[in-house]
């Protein structure tokens, strides 16, 4: 009987009491549930150790619709003395406009988006994958532009293939993007920036 009464008081404290202590306990419980139950459970279901990632750069952004992206001139340096046409870049590596249009996330995505990942067991040309490299703190979220024993990726908005993404081993890939939730990733971005400022 005492246990039932105690549990009722705890329940009322967590869900009904209007105090800052109750609010802190709610935040801690939400963190524990998400971090140790929801996130690992979702990862198990989707076959990836990181089922949800926030996009923290603009390397996959498109300026306008697909045709604008394909024909746009992208600056490769500050004064734009070096530039490329995105479509020309892809055609030089034998990816046609029609083929690119069939890829997932054909219109890219934005900084601040959340990407839901799935197992990277089967990677195809044009897939957007998330992978880790020792020299970068955050995972990379770029498109596969060459598929084989080693992968080559490129950010849609970027001028060229970075040196770090020319020979990606499949063991480095933690998942491939299958769904996008716009802007929700700014929660993480703002929190990280606030922590950096606090230091």
Asked whether 117 and 177 are in contact (CB, 8 A), the reply is yes
DSSP 8-51: HHHHHHHHT--SHHHHHHHHHHHHHHIIIIIHHHHHHHHT-S--
Whether 141 and 95 map to the same domain: the answer is yes
Whether 63 and 156 map to the same domain: the answer is yes
Whether 126 and 107 map to the same domain: the answer is yes
Whether 52 and 68 map to the same domain: the answer is yes
Distances (CA, A) of 78 to 58, 70, 99: 16, 21, 31
Whether 42 and 138 map to the same domain: the answer is no
Residuewise pLDDT in 10s, the chain (199 residues): 568 787 787 777 777 788 888 888 888 887 887 778 777 888 888 889 889 999 999 999 998 999 999 998 888 888 888 899 999 999 999 999 999 999 999 999 999 999 999 999 999 999 999 999 988 888 999 999 999 999 999 999 999 999 999 999 999 999 999 999 998 877 777 776 776 777 7
| pLDDT recorded at residue 146 | 97
Q: What is the domain range of residue 14?
A: 1-46
Whether 33 and 56 map to the same domain: the answer is no
Whether 54 and 42 map to the same domain: the answer is no
Whether 59 and 41 map to the same domain: the answer is no
The total number of structural domains in the chain stands at 2
Whether 8 and 91 map to the same domain: the answer is no
Whether 88 and 26 map to the same domain: the answer is no
Query: What CATH number is associated with residue 74?
Result: 2.10.109.10
Whether 42 and 70 map to the same domain: the answer is no
């Amino acid at each position: 009987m005492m246990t039932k009464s105690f549990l009722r008081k705890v329940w009322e404290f967590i869900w009904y009491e209007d105090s800052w202590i109750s609010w802190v306990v709610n935040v801690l419980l939400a963190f524990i549930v998400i971090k140790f139950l929801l996130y690992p459970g979702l990862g198990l279901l989707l076959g990836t150790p990181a089922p949800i990632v926030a996009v923290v750069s603009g390397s996959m952004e498109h300026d306008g619709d697909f045709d604008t992206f394909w024909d746009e001139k992208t600056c490769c340096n500050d004064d734009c003395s070096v530039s490329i046409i995105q479509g020309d870049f892809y055609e030089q590596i034998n990816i046609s406009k029609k083929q690119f249009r069939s890829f997932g996330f054909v219109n890219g995505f934005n900084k601040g988006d959340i990407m839901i990942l799935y197992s990277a067991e089967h990677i195809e040309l044009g897939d957007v994958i998330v992978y880790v490299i020792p020299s970068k703190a955050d995972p990379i979220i770029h498109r596969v532009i060459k598929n084989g024993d080693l992968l080559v990726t490129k950010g849609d908005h970027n001028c060229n293939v970075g040196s770090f993404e020319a020979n990606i081993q499949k063991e480095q890939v933690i998942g491939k993007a299958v769904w996008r939730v716009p802007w929700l990733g700014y929660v993480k971005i703002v929190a990280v920036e606030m922590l950096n400022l606090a230091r």
